[in-house]
A and B are shown apart, each in its own frame.
Chain A
Amino acid sequence: MASQRIGPGLKYSLNKAFLDCLRDIKTISFGGSTVLTTIRSAALTVCGVAVLLSVSGPAAAQAARDYISIVGSSTVYPFATVVAEQFGRSTAFKTPKIESTGSGGGLKLFCAGVGVEHPDITNSSRRIKSSEVELCASNGVAEIVEVKIGYDGIVLANSIDNKPYELSLKDVFLALAKDVPAPDGSERLVPNPYNTWNEVNPELPNTAIEVLGPPPTSGTRDAFAELAMEGGCKQFAWIKAIKSEDKSRYKGICHGVREDGRYVEAGENDNLIVNKLKANPDALGIFGFSFLDQNADVVQGSLIDGQKPEFEAIAEGIYPVSRSLYFYVKKAHIGAIPGIREYLAEFVSDKAMGDFGYLTERGLIPLPEAEYEAVAQAVRDLQPLNLAAN
């Protein structure tokens, strides 16, 4: 880390070099004034480029960082930013910088190496994969601390101007999958023939299927496919049997979303989906629980397998479409970058992550008491992640 010591001086020397250069330009004086402007602007570029080159080059690396750099999931972003802001206000440390890169993108950046140019923490709306742990290890990121912060429910919501839907996971799968088991009951797949909800299930209303949801790049979509679609899909015993023979085919069947316009990719912007639902009371939208919570006067969550998407139901794991949220800390950076330990303490404190903490007001579903205690203890001990152990 010796090369990073030069950090704080770097900014100063950069500014100084540029100012020196500017002074040189002022002294240039020949030809008419028109020439002067041209010469000056040309010299200015030379200055800029020269100064840039002098500070860059892999050897100069980067100024030492005095703030925490966080990347990762857009689902965890609204929670992490609240903690970061609270942390920045109430301590002498700078407010961490948080980029919303998506879970996969965040882990890739996180695992790129150790050093100030790499992020310290990555947020994730799914657990780290063993392949990612290996990638990390191969780049020298050996010890990672995993922090599970709580749960997020994914809701299927519609406008409050209409009655709430009562769906089962099977209904969701049949309405939205690309290929579904033939309606005659035979064990073959046909392109999704259903156009209205009561064709899927006679108890549902006779309205056209129209679902607005996130695009495939979104973590919410991954989780929705895995929890809701697959949950309904594996209720067909013969499809479930495929899993043991051909896992990728099974995944293709269960996670494939129809592309005939009944499922509308509405972009990553959940506010947009909420607005569209308001305008179209027959449509359903897919988004995270925090958006339902903030817009309860406009939209309502559908019952899934008889469960309303409510705070308690998600916390107790009764609501079927919920996932865990995590963040991962690079242990090698603790101590090197100021404030990481304190940020962790703020995050796992009872007033943030606890049952009545400020994160719950933002829509985070807190961990059950015992699990919370275990997580808080693990964070205090900075216990490194061991995927094999659990």
Chain B
Amino acid sequence: MTADEKRAQEETLRRVRASLARRYRSERRFRLFGLSSALLGLAFVAFLFVTIIGNGYTAFWQTQFKLDIYFDPAVIDPDGQADPQQLASANYRALIRDALQSELPDVSGRREMRELNRLISAGAEFDLRDEVVANVALIGSTRELWITADDEVDMLVKGHVERDEQGGARRLSDSQLRWIDALAADGRVEQRFNVNFFTRGDSRDPEQAGIAGAAKGSLFALLVTLVIAFPLGIAAAVYLEEFAPRNRWIDLVEVNINNLAAVPSIVFGLLGLSVFLNFFGLPRSAPLVGGLVLSLMTLPTIIIASRAAIKSVPPSVREAALGLGASQVQTVLHHVVPLAMPGMLTGAIIGMARALGESAPLLMIGMVAFIVEVPQSITDPATALPVQVFLWADSPERAFVERTSAATMVLLAFLLAMNAVAIWLRNKFERRW
């Protein structure tokens, strides 16, 4: 090695060494960027969960009063016949009022009685009615029952409303506050598990409102979506991937399927309105129509995912089957589709999870509505979970704030469950080559 060469080599080495620190730095910086964006994303998710759970967890409990209800035959069954008609229309409010008054003997006068009345949920009397109609033997007896409190009381007990607010701004009067304190001192006020929230449909009284109607509506719509979109999507994917000739028409179909996956969901709602409601005359607000619209929306997602799954089946499997004398259809049905099934299922579930969170297409077909009855079939009027969140978020009563968050939690739980099923299916059936 000549001196010149040696010098050149040293020069190169020197320059490399000089830049080395800078290169390491930029590498570290790059990794730091990646890490911080991942952390930022996580922080947003954590923030979302903390606010929603923090706002909403109290909705799973509901303030109730423990009262000794005397099922006075003179009030609910004056003729002693236990006639269901008579029992259904009796004045159960009076029973609750009497029980309350016996706890708070100092209440007197019409105005005070009205205020006392407002402590109790407007729906409580109907709960009592249902109990009596179901069990006639109750008449004449005294039972210690938990009676649902009004939402204003609930908010106060949960601390969502300031107690020391000026009289005008607080919605509960000073005497109402005094009565609640008296009942609480007696151990008669308690926050109990909010059964209504999980068993009822919508209501304008927050303490009576439940998520069951919306959850069932979502479930029905998704079942219709599954039944329609899953087989259609798989059939389309199998045809396009395994049987379709390569020509311009098929290219056009493929491009349009990919485009369809990017169409805003409200467009599918408009389509549903004009086709399913106006042309076919299917009922408004029904999960059947909701499911049809959502299946149109999910179909492209399922086709794309299924095609990817079919593509990932190695060609050697096909060749081996064909080599052993299987026909094209046998190859596809016996080998390719079963091997691609986990991927197809995952795609379908992810597509349906997206459909679960949609409210825009449901707006056009009348599923954004106030519906009290829990739907029993796919043709009954129903709402869906995201719609219920939207409707409650827009209600003026303070107690709906926590219920909105609670409904969001139910929606998230539904979503997580679906994703968990997708992951489980993938892990259980997936094969690697």
Contact = CB atoms under 8 A, between A and B. Distances in A.
Contacts of B377: 11, 15
B369 A98 contact: yes
- Tell me what chain A mostly uses at the interface: helix, strand, loop, or mixed: helix
Contact of B285 (A38, A52, A82, A97): A97
Given A296-B168, A296-B171, A270 B394 contact: yes
A46 B285 CA distance: 24
Given A84-B370, A98-B370, A269-B394, A297 B282 contact: no
B333 interface: yes
Interface string A247-286: 0000000000000000000001111100000000000000
B311 interface: no
Interface stretch (A135-143, A190-198, A287-295): A287-295
A85 B204 contact: yes
A240 B152 CA distance: 47
A48 B369 contact: no
A32 B335 CA distance: 11
B228 A78 contact: no
Contacts of B25: none
A296 B169 contact: yes
Interface in A1-51: 11, 14-15, 31-32, 34-35, 38, 41-42, 44-45, 48-49
B281 A271 contact: no
B128 interface: no
Contacts, number: 129
Given A270-B396, A291-B396, A295-B398, A58 B333 contact: no
A100 B169 contact: no
B217 interface: no
Interface residues of A, number: 57
Interface in A41-96: 41-42, 44-45, 48-49, 52, 56-58, 60-63, 67, 69, 74, 77-78, 81-82, 84-86, 88-89, 94-95
Given A78-B204, A89-B126, A100-B368, A34 B338 contact: yes
Interface in B293-340: 333-334, 337-338
A268 B394 CA distance: 8
A342 interface: no
A297 B169 contact: yes
B161 interface: yes
A95 B231 contact: no
Nearest to A299: B169
B235 A85 contact: no
- Tell me what chain B mostly uses at the interface: helix, strand, loop, or mixed: loop
Interface in A322-367: 358, 362-363
Interface string A143-162: 00000000000000000100
Contacts of A84: 370, 372
Interface string B151-182: 00000000001100100111100000000000
A48 to B, nearest CB: 5
A226 interface: no
B27 interface: no
Contact of A62 (B231, B235, B283): B283
A15 to B, nearest CB: 7
Nearest to A58: B281
A97 B282 contact: no
Given A45-B231, A63-B379, A81-B370, 12 more contacts: A34-B334, A41-B231, A45-B228, A56-B280, A56-B281, A58-B281, A61-B281, A62-B281, A88-B372, A89-B123, A271-B394, A294-B398
10 contacts: A31-B334, A41-B231, A84-B370, A86-B122, A99-B285, A271-B394, A294-B171, A294-B398, A297-B162, A358-B122
